[in-house]
Amino acid sequence: MADVKKHNTPMVDELKGGSWPSFVDDIEQKGLKGKQECLDLLGQLELSYEHKETHWKHGGIVGVFGYGGGVIGRYSDVPEKFPSIAHFHTIRLNQPSSKFYNSDFLRKMCDMWDHRGSGMTNLHGSTGDIVLLGTKTDELEPIFYDCTHQLGADLGGSGSNLRTPSCCVGKARCEYSCLDTQDICNDLTQTYQDELHRPAFPYKFKFKVSGCPNDCVAAIARSDCAIIGTWKDDIRIDQAAVQAYIGGELKPNAGAHSDRDWGPFDIQKEVIDLCPTNCMWMEGKELKIDNRECTRCMHCINVMPAALRPGVETGATILVGAKAPILEGAQLATLAIPFIRMESPYDELKDFVEKVWDWWMEEGKNRERFGELIQRQSIQEFLRRTGLKPIPQMVKEPRSNPYVFWSADEVEGGWERDVKAFRARHAA
Amino acid sequence: MANRITDIGPPHYEQFFPPVIKKNYGKWKSHEIVQPGVIKYTSETGDVCYAVRVGSARLITTDLIREIAEIADKYCEGYCRWTTRNNVEFHVTDEATLRALLDDLKGRKFPGGSYKFPVGGTGASVTNIVHTQGWVHCHTPAIDASGVVKAVMDDLFDYFGSHKLPAQVRIALACCLNMCGAVHCSDIAILGIHRKPPLVEDERITGVCEIPLAVAACPLGAIKPATVEVGGEQKKTVRVNQDRCMFCGNCYTMCPAMPLADGEGDGIAILVGGKISNRVSAPKFSKLVIPYIPNEPPRWPTAVKTVRRILETYAANADKYERLGEWAERIGWERFFEKCDIPFTEKSIDDYRLAYTTYHTTTQFKWSVHTDNL
Ligand code: HEM
Ligand code: HEM
Ligand code: HEM
Ligand code: SF4
Ligand code: SF4
Ligand code: SF4
Ligand code: SF4
Q: What is the pLDDT of residues A126-156, one digit of tens each?
A: 999 999 999 999 999 999 999 999 999 999 9
| Domain final residue, candidates A277, A309, A341 | A309
Q: Is the pLDDT of residue A121 over 50?
A: yes
Q: Are B282 and B274 in contact (CB under 8 A)?
A: no
Q: Is the pLDDT of residue A1 over 60?
A: no
| Full-model pTM | 0.89
Per-position DSSP letters for A26-54, written without gaps between them = HHHHHHHTT-HHHHHHHHHHHHHHHHTS-
Enumerate the residues of chain B whose CB falls inside 8 A of the CB of residue A14: 298-299
Q: Which of A100, A160, A203 to mutate to test the interface with B (most CBs of B within 10 A)?
A: A100
> Which of B130, B135, B176 is the pocket-test mutation for ligand 6 (most atoms within 8 Å of CB)?
B176
| CB-nearest partner of A54 from B39, B141, B154 | B141
Q: Does A103 touch chain B (CB under 8 A)?
A: yes
CATH of residue A270: 3.30.70.20
> Which residue in chain A is spatially nearest to B182 when comparing CA positions?
A324
Task: Give, for all 374 residues of chain B, the pLDDT tens digit.
Answer: 678 999 999 999 999 999 999 999 999 999 999 999 999 999 999 999 999 999 999 999 999 999 999 999 999 999 999 999 999 999 999 999 999 999 999 999 999 999 999 999 999 999 999 999 999 999 999 999 999 999 999 999 999 999 999 999 999 999 999 888 668 999 999 999 999 999 999 999 999 999 999 999 998 999 999 999 988 899 999 999 999 999 999 999 999 999 999 999 999 999 999 999 999 999 999 999 999 999 999 999 999 999 999 999 999 999 999 999 999 999 999 999 999 999 999 999 998 877 778 888 777 888 899 989 88
User: Which of A 277-306 lie inside 8 A of B, CB atoms?
Assistant: 295-299, 302-303, 305-306
pLDDT tens, residue by residue, B118-167: 999 999 999 999 999 999 999 999 999 999 999 999 999 999 999 999 99
Could you tell me if A294 and A343 lie in one domain? no
Across the interface, do A172 and B21 touch by the CB < 8 Å criterion? yes
A82 inside domain = no
pLDDT tens, residue by residue, A377-403: 999 999 999 999 999 999 999 998 888
State the nearest Cα–Cα gap between B331 and chain A, in angstroms: 16
Could you tell me if A264 and A298 lie in one domain? yes
A300 inside domain = yes
What three-state secondary structure class fits A197? helix
Could you tell me if A423 and A323 lie in one domain? yes
Q: Are B77 and B90 in contact (CB under 8 A)?
A: no
Enumerate the residues of chain A whose CB falls inside 8 A of the CB of residue B5: 148-149
Q: What separation in Å is there between the alpha carbon of A255 and the centre of ligand 7? A: 48
Enumerate the residues of chain B whose CB falls inside 8 A of the CB of residue A18: 113-114, 150-151, 154, 157
Question: Do β-strands B171-174 and B130-131 pair in parallel, antiparallel, or remain unpaired?
Answer: parallel
pLDDT tens, residue by residue, A12-26: 999 999 999 999 999
Q: What separation in Å is there between the alpha carbon of B357 and the centre of ligand 1? A: 20
Could you tell me if A247 and A368 lie in one domain? no
* Beta bridge mates, B228: B235
| Domain final residue, candidates A309, A331, A364 | A309
Atom of ligand 3 nearest to the CA of A166: 41
Enumerate the residues of chain A whose CB falls inside 8 A of the CB of residue B124: 253, 256-257, 259-260
Enumerate the residues of chain A whose CB falls inside 8 A of the CB of residue B112: 16-17, 22, 24-25
Could you tell me if A201 and A347 lie in one domain? yes
Residue A212 in contact with ligand 5 by CB distance below 6 A: no
* Beta bridge mates, B242: none
Distance, CA of A98 to chain centre: 12
Q: Is the pLDDT of residue A2 over 70?
A: no
* Beta bridge mates, B233: B230
CA dist., res. B277 & res. B162, Å (int): 21
| CB-nearest partner of B12 from A56, A186, A324 | A186
A299 inside domain = yes
A230 inside domain = no
pLDDT tens, residue by residue, A28-69: 999 999 999 999 999 999 999 999 999 999 977 899 999 998
Q: What pLDDT is recorded for position B241?
A: 96
Could you tell me if A182 and A328 lie in one domain? yes
Residue B182 in contact with ligand 6 by CB distance below 6 A: no
∠ CA(A237), CA(A243), CA(A247), 5° rounding?
Answer: 150
User: Out of A287-291, A326-330, B36-40, B53-57, which region has the weakest mean confidence (pLDDT)?
Assistant: A326-330
Across the interface, do B57 and A26 touch by the CB < 8 Å criterion? yes
A327 inside domain = yes
Take atom 3 of ligand 7 and give the residue whose Cα is closest.
Answer: B245
> Which residue in chain A is spatially nearest to B108 when comparing CA positions?
A21
Could you tell me if A328 and A423 lie in one domain? yes
For B343, counting Cβ atoms within 10 Å of its Cβ (0-12 exposed, 13-18 middle, 19+ buried), the class is exposed
Please name which ligand lies nearest the alpha carbon of A131.
Answer: 3
The CA radius of gyration of chain A, in Å to the nearest whole number, is: 27
Atom of ligand 4 nearest to the CA of A179: 3
| Domain final residue, candidates A290, A309, A328 | A309
Could you tell me if A202 and A302 lie in one domain? no
| CB-nearest partner of A221 from B6, B262, B283 | B283
Could you tell me if A323 and A215 lie in one domain? yes
The structural domain count of chain A equals 3
Q: Which own/partner pairs from A73-76 qualify as long-range (CB within 8 Å, at least 24 positions apart)? A: A74/A134, A74/B137, A74/B139, A76/A44
A227 inside domain = no
Residue B130 in contact with ligand 6 by CB distance below 6 A: no
A290 inside domain = yes
Residues near ligand 3 (Cβ within 6 A):
A 122, 125-127, 131, 206, 222, 324, 326; B 132-133, 138, 140, 178-182, 253
Could you tell me if A352 and A208 lie in one domain? yes
* Beta bridge mates, B31: B41
Where in the sequence is the domain holding A367, given as residue range(s)? 159-219+319-427
Could you tell me if A214 and A175 lie in one domain? yes
A59 inside domain = no
A208: nearest Cα among A192, A242, A191, A184: A184
Q: Helix, strand, coil: what percent of chain A each, to 5?
A: 35, 15, 45
How large is the ipTM?
Answer: 0.95
User: Which of B 287-346 lie inside 8 A of A, CB atoms?
Assistant: 295, 297-299, 320-321
Could you tell me if A208 and A336 lie in one domain? yes
| CB-nearest partner of A324 from B26, B182, B280 | B182
CATH of residue A197: 3.30.413.10
Enumerate the residues of chain B whose CB falls inside 8 A of the CB of residue A51: 263
Take atom 4 of ligand 6 and give the residue whose Cα is closest.
Answer: B175
